[in-house]
Amino acid sequence: MRSVGGVSLALVVACLLQLAGCAAPERPYNVLFIVVDDLRPELNVTYGHEYMHTPNLDALAAQSMVFDRAYCQEAVCAPSRNSFMSGRRPDTTKAWNFIDHFREPGVGADWVSLPQYFKNHGYYTWGGGKLYHPNLPPKNDEPLSWSQEIPYFPVTDEPCPKGTKTPFCSIDAPLDSFFDHRLSEHTIGLLEAAALNYTDKPFFIGAGFRRPHVSWRAPPRFFDLYNASMIATATHPTAPSGMPDIAFTTEGAADIHHWPRAYGPNDPEPHDSQQLLRRGYYAAVSFVDEQIGAVLKALDHYGLSNNTIVSLNGDHGWQLGEHGEWAKHTNFELAARVPMMVRVPSKPQTAGKRSSAIVELIDMYPTLAELAGLPTPPDLNGTSFAPYFDNHTMPSLKDAAFFQFPRCPKNLSRMWDENICLSVPRTEFYSMGYSVRTTQYRYTEWLKWNGTRLHGEWSDVVGVELYDHAGDTGTDFNAFENENLAAEPSMQAVVKEMHVLLVKNYGE
């Protein structure tokens, strides 16, 4: 893909413009859209976790506006990606599992996806990796979303070697044997093509990095960055007091494969096991940080930084033993909250600024369109947060974030056993947990599912949660959601207020 020929006049001009600090061209901005699988906001200076080795993400954050309170709409890959790639909530996409997708007839076959919107407005749209979950929607979406001059670079899975009894593995092998490195090289090739051969139109380039999704597979030098014996573990490794059983899941143990696992909300992993698991996750984060850094360096090298918006976010969070959880698959804060940063060349005054406003992943679609100078996309559930780039301290444009998760317990006496519904038809769910996250509270109602209406029944409540986040700056992953306050007499006014917000957002 990457050429070895001479440098074009367009590239020379672009480089000279960058060196001279000239304004970006009047045509719409390019967009580099980066999504990182299972990335939680546990980064170095970006989110206040200095033990993390994430120099490239931290450098990007120093040039971007960082959003401290960004949330996905469902904390698992396929539904989340169907949601933010369409700009619509899961209750609109009808995609809550690993079976359905928004392109189905009767749902959103004619919707315009995020990359498709840019394509329809004269952009080259190229991509690779895990942007959608593989085959959800199926491959026939590609001609709609992606320009066909350069084929889409599909994601491939890379498990640890057969027989590995852990979800992590240190692999001393050429970098080309790692998918995320190949994706980085492919994305660099796309930037080179945009600078050398496809200069007539702006571009939207998407890159969906696979790590730190399990397996945590990385070269040894990334494991060497972390001493397992020095890694702090969850302060509260068991379920919150008063939590309804349906809020908990052991399904995350499937994500860590053959690792010895606990079988209930009050049976945490041993301390040394938690340290080893965290080391594997951290190594994978540092590995993907290096691959993203190579892409950002190429953006500079090809003279594209001054006219390219760069956005980066996770698809959902991840739990590393907090409350006994070891994946996503819940409505806990650490499953729903994601890192999010956006660098806008025309707004240099926002470099290094932080916003505490509540934003959601469905907001990325209209925001990137507005920042690029395109018309407002119609019929989306998201709200553009572009105004924050003119005033990063302005109040939140929305009162709350909303997210949800279905439950399908096989054993009602042990609701936490293998209960996340990913392979269960949506008509056969047992319950839906609807959550609202305001500035101070996270409130959830677990409702009995109506498989005909495809909605929870407000009159049939399976469980209720209320957690106080007063004083939560987002840097302490242990201090909050440790006590369910939903039954406290003094909190009933708050419960009623949160219920009204849920009904207003999700409908009757």
Residue 378 maps to a domain: yes
**Tell me, what amino acid is at 207?**
A
How many Å apart are CA 108 and CA 97, to the nearest integer?
Answer: 16
Residue 490 maps to a domain: no
Q: State the DSSP H helix or E strand holding residue 294, giving kind and residue range, or none if neither.
A: helix 271-301
Q: Of the listed 15, 53, 72, 77, which one is catalytic?
A: 77
Residue 454 maps to a domain: no
Q: Please provide the DSSP assignment of 122-144 as one string.
A: T-EEEEEESSSBTTBS-GGGHHH
pLDDT tens by residue, the chain, 508 residues: 443 333 344 443 344 334 433 444 467 899 999 999 999 999 987 788 999 999 999 999 999 999 999 999 999 999 999 999 999 999 999 999 999 999 999 999 999 999 999 999 999 999 999 999 999 999 999 999 999 999 999 999 889 999 888 899 999 999 999 999 999 999 999 999 999 999 999 999 999 999 999 999 999 999 999 999 999 999 999 999 999 999 999 877 655 645 656 567 888 888 998 999 999 999 999 999 999 999 999 999 999 999 999 999 999 999 999 999 999 999 999 999 999 999 999 999 999 999 999 999 999 999 999 999 999 999 999 999 999 999 999 989 999 999 999 999 988 988 988 899 999 999 999 999 999 999 999 999 999 999 999 999 999 999 999 999 999 999 999 999 999 999 999 999 999 999 999 999 999 8
Q: State the DSSP H helix or E strand holding residue 449, giving kind and residue range, or none if neither.
A: strand 441-450
**Tell me, what amino acid is at 57?**
L
Residue 42 maps to a domain: yes
Q: Give the 3-state secondary structure of residue 483.
A: strand
**pLDDT of the residue at 117:** 98
Domain extent for 176: 29-395
Residue 7 maps to a domain: no
Q: Of the listed 133, 213, 236, 392, which one is catalytic?
A: 133
Q: State the DSSP H helix or E strand holding residue 337, giving kind and residue range, or none if neither.
A: strand 337-338
Active site residue 408: no
Residue 442 maps to a domain: no
Residue 427 maps to a domain: no
CATH code of 34's domain: 3.40.720.10
Measured distance between the N- and C-terminal CA atoms of the chain, rounded to whole angstroms: 52
Residue 87 maps to a domain: yes
Count of structural domains within the chain: 1
**pLDDT of the residue at 66:** 97
Active site residue 77: yes
